[in-house]
């Protein structure tokens, strides 16, 4: 059990998770309507991770995420409309329609993507942290990746490099137990991921990733430690309730396993906790639902009203445009 949460802040965390949940549920509908295309990886079930970690960052910190990053983008404050417009392929999208669901970016929010190569974001995160240290900025870089990335060489090279140079990276491993259809037991000989971090002398914590308060506590400690010191590792134990992407028949896991994890839905856990503290009631929930629904409706309207980039601009953004 974690510390007693502040009621107002606890509700904020709940509301943020709800935004992500409802946003993604609408994405599924829009995908069936072919308004969103390409790959679409949902974060449903894992919301407590992004919300808990990102709550502990400042605006000067950096975020690096994966292709499963709607939640991180929303929690980082990228407007829902800009994200939705991106998935609609519109100029008003947060990546100008060039990136799509897997490549959400926002330079102002220091949100460095949306990387669709497993493990590919980790070296970049190390470099962002290096730049901060070399320029005496007190920022931290939060780098998210799945447990599947732990088998990739880039994971190890990056952890080691960050540790050798003592850089302020918080490596946030979202252990949802599967990399597509491959269970962690079949991808790692030792499933104790903190042991990998330990082999780089990197402090590590194993966290209940379904409990947003636990995540926030662990992240706050890790972020503080990184800010004044070197890299930190968080294993955030979570579960993806939905398919890997839109095309996954889920042959690799039992429905009972999914159900067991659904019983620990991060939204439900958070709500229960807040109700125990008399900090949450049906009125609050209904209000949140209404606000969130309105926000998402507006986001979709914004995306629909958005414009398509002229085809004549096809080869822009390959090299910096020096003509304008």
Ligand X SMILES: Cc1ncc(C[n+]2csc(CCOP(=O)(O)OP(=O)(O)O)c2C)c(N)n1
Site string for Mg ion, 130-169 (x = CB under 5 A): ----------------xxx---------------------
Which residue, 157 or 248, has its beta carbon nearer to a second copy?
157
Q: What does 249 bind: other proteins, Mg ion, ligand X, none (CB cut-off 5 to 8 Å by kind)?
A: other proteins
Which residue, 41 or 90, has its beta carbon nearer to ligand X?
41
The one-character DSSP state at 214 is H
Q: What does 176 bind: other proteins, a second copy, Mg ion, none (CB cut-off 5 to 8 Å by kind)?
A: Mg ion
Examine residue 144 and tell whether it contacts other proteins (CB under 8 A): no
Which residue, 93 or 146, has its beta carbon nearer to Mg ion?
146
In 3D, which of 179, 185, 240, 238 has the Cα closest to residue 207?
A: 238
DSSP string of 58-71? -TTSEEEEESS-HH
Q: Give the range of 43-51, 69-77, 269-277, 311-319 binding other proteins by CB under 8 A.
A: 311-319
Q: What does 200 bind: a second copy, Mg ion, ligand X, none (CB cut-off 5 to 8 Å by kind)?
A: a second copy
C-beta of residue 173 within 8 angstroms of C-beta of residue 207:
no
The least distance separating Mg ion from the CB of residue 101, rounded to whole angstroms, comes to: 17
Residues that bind ligand X (CB under 6 A): 68, 116-118, 146-149, 174, 176, 178-180, 244
**List of residues 6+ apart from 153 with CB closer than 8 A:** 119
Examine residue 90 and tell whether it contacts other proteins (CB under 8 A): yes
Q: What does 135 bind: Mg ion, other proteins, a second copy, none (CB cut-off 5 to 8 Å by kind)?
A: other proteins
CA 26 to chain centre: 18
In 3D, which of 228, 221, 230, 226 has the Cα closest to residue 164?
A: 230
Q: How far apart are CA 104 and CA 72, in angstroms?
A: 10
Which residue, 117 or 263, has its beta carbon nearer to other proteins?
117
In the three-class reduction of DSSP (H, G, I as helix; E, B as strand; rest coil), residue 146 is classed as strand
Q: How far apart are CA 318 and CA 308, in angstroms?
A: 18
Q: Give the range of 8-16, 175-183, 216-224, 263-271 binding other proteins by CB under 8 A.
A: 175-183
In 3D, which of 114, 139, 115, 117 has the Cα closest to residue 128?
A: 139
In the three-class reduction of DSSP (H, G, I as helix; E, B as strand; rest coil), residue 236 is classed as strand
Residues that bind a second copy (CB under 8 A): 151-157, 160, 163-164, 186-190, 192, 195-196, 198-202
Examine residue 318 and tell whether it contacts other proteins (CB under 8 A): yes
The least distance separating Mg ion from the CB of residue 133, rounded to whole angstroms, comes to: 28
Q: What does 68 bind: Mg ion, ligand X, other proteins, none (CB cut-off 5 to 8 Å by kind)?
A: ligand X
The least distance separating ligand X from the CB of residue 168, rounded to whole angstroms, comes to: 23
Q: How far apart are CA 140 and CA 132, in angstroms?
A: 8
Examine residue 238 and tell whether it contacts Mg ion (CB under 5 A): no
The one-character DSSP state at 110 is T
- Helix ranges, the chain (H): 7-32, 47-54, 70-75, 80-87, 121-134, 153-164, 184-187, 193-198, 212-228, 255-262, 266-276, 282-305
Q: Which of 176, 232, 237, 238 touches Mg ion (CB under 5 A)?
A: 176
Which residue, 222 or 299, has its beta carbon nearer to a second copy?
222
């Amino acid at each position: 059990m974690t510390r007693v949460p502040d009621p107002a802040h606890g509700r904020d965390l709940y509301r943020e998770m709800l935004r992500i949940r409802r946003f993604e549920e609408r994405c599924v509908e829009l995908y069936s309507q072919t308004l969103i295309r390409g790959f679409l990886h949902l974060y449903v079930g894992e919301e407590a991770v992004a919300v808990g970690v990102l709550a502990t960052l400042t605006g000067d910190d950096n975020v690096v995420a994966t292709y499963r990053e709607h939640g991180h983008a929303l929690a980082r404050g990228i407007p829902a409309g800009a994200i939705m417009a991106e998935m609609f392929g519109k100029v008003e999208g947060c990546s100008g329609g060039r990136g799509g669901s897997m490549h959400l970016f926002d330079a102002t929010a220091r949100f460095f993507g949306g990387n669709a190569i497993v493990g590919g974001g980790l070296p970049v995160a190390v470099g962002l942290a290096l730049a901060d240290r070399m320029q005496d900025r007190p920022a931290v870089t939060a780098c998210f990746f799945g447990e599947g990335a732990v088998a990739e060489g880039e994971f190890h090279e990056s952890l080691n490099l960050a540790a050798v140079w003592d850089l302020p990276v918080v490596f946030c491993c979202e252990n949802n137990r599967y990399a597509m259809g491959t269970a962690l037991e079949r991808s790692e000989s030792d499933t104790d991921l903190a042991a990998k971090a330990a082999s780089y002398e990197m402090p590590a914590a194993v966290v209940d990733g379904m409990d947003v308060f636990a995540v926030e506590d662990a992240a706050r400690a890790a972020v503080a430690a990184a800010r004044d010191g070197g890299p930190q590792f968080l294993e955030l134990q979570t579960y993806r309730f939905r398919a890997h992407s839109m095309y996954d028949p889920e042959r690799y896991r039992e429905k009972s396993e999914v159900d067991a994890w659904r019983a620990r839905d991060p939204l439900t856990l958070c709500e229960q906790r807040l109700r125990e503290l008399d900090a949450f009631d049906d009125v609050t929930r209904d209000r949140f639902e209404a606000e969130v629904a309105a926000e998402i409706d507006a986001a979709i309207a914004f995306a629909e009203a958005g414009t398509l980039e002229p085809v004549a601009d096809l080869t822009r953004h390959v090299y910096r445009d020096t003509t304008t």
